[in-house]
Amino acid sequence: MHDTDRLRNRQRVTNSPYQVGIVNGRKKIACILIVILVLVAAVLVSANVKRQEPITMVFGGDCAFVHSFERVVQDHYRYPFAKLDWFRRADIRMINLENPISLRGDKTPKEFNFRMHPKYLGVLKDANINVVCLANNHIYDYGKDALLDTLSYLDSAGIRHVGAGENLSMARKPVILEVNRKKIGFLAYYGNGSWYPASEGSPGTAPRIKALIRDDLRALRENEKVDFIVVNYHWGQEGSNYPEPFQVDLAHFTVECGANLIIGHHPHVLQGIEKYKNGIIVYSLGNFLFGYASSKEYDTAIFKLVIDQHQVLPQIIPIHIASWQASLLTGKGRETVLSKLREYSMGFRESIF
């Protein structure tokens, strides 16, 4: 057989349907294997990247563990929060602590003076409170010594505090908590500098001055690289269910400077909740466990916020206070609280309702 004939025969075999099928089959198998390897690699990578768990924060309004509260609760420290296990389980639990913690100090000249016995730290610890706001008009009720005692007692109990300090720098110092790989920053302010503000040489509260607030927010974002910022303001007209124009202006300014959530207190009653740009503004949470209240039975609310991935989910939880014990409000009472908050929020361009 000539060489040319052998070459023709080899080409006939190579180009036969049988041989072509084998080659195509091998190519398909190779492609399938590549796809499987890519999918396996993706699964392995995703397994190493844990899904970020949600962060739950709960906020209560004005708390003063004094007077009627002391007479009823006595030494039963678990009693006030005995029915709020869900509160204890939140990642962040914050209140406005509207009294110094001390056994000493002289009354400052004013109409009402509050001072909490150090034993009631047991109530805060039982409730798992991990942050308190001290920027308010009662933290200096018994002067410098009582304020310094307050800071010391809270530090000893492992409870973080914001809004007051040994000097202006410490009063402005933020609290930063890291929860589920996110950094949450807290700030708090009271007044415009006219009521026992801290200075570089004396203790007091962080004054509610825009320039300071702007600088503090910028430092949290740029230097501390926090993911979420909560600002507490002690402000507004007592007994009013609607914010003053200066509150709305300051709240909008604060959100524009980088705050994500504003928690307000001082009016002792609930006010509306506004959504503004990338922020939520709770103008007043009213009284929570306020021992000097005119009644030891009333309805109020806790504000709850869940951060889940890129979602921010707000919720109002109506609460009933009876003989200084908090419990979930149900039925008609619950709907009344929610209905009132909707009404108080109607004047805003956007709210959470």
Strand partners, 184: 177, 228
- Give me the DSSP letters along 132-148: EE--STTTTTTHHHHHH
CB-count burial class (<10 Å; 0-12, 13-18, 19+) for 37: exposed
Q: First vs last Cα of the chain: how many Å apart? A: 93
> Rounded to 5 degrees, what are φ and ψ at 329?
-90, 135
CA atoms of 113 and 100, how far apart (whole Å): 10
> Rounded to 5 degrees, what are φ and ψ at 17?
-55, -35
CB-count burial class (<10 Å; 0-12, 13-18, 19+) for 283: buried
pTM above 0.75, yes or no: yes
User: Going residue by residue through the chain (353 aa), what tens digit of pLDDT does each one get?
Assistant: 555 555 455 555 445 554 545 545 565 665 565 555 545 445 444 444 456 899 999 999 999 999 999 999 999 999 999 999 999 999 999 999 999 999 999 999 999 999 999 999 999 999 999 999 999 999 999 999 999 999 999 999 999 999 999 999 999 999 999 999 999 999 999 997 778 999 999 999 999 999 999 999 999 999 999 999 999 999 999 999 999 999 999 999 999 999 999 999 999 999 999 999 999 999 999 999 999 988 889 999 999 999 998 899 999 999 999 999 999 999 999 999 999 999 999 999 999 99
Q: Look-up: residue for tokens 């950094």?
A: 183
CB-count burial class (<10 Å; 0-12, 13-18, 19+) for 253: middle
- The DSSP letter of residue 260 is S
Asked whether the beta carbons of 172 and 205 are under 8 A apart, the reply is no
Q: Please report the pLDDT score of residue 310 as a whole number.
A: 87
- The DSSP letter of residue 180 is T
Question: Would you identify the CATH topology of the domain 57-344?
Answer: Purple Acid Phosphatase; chain A, domain 2 (3.60.21)
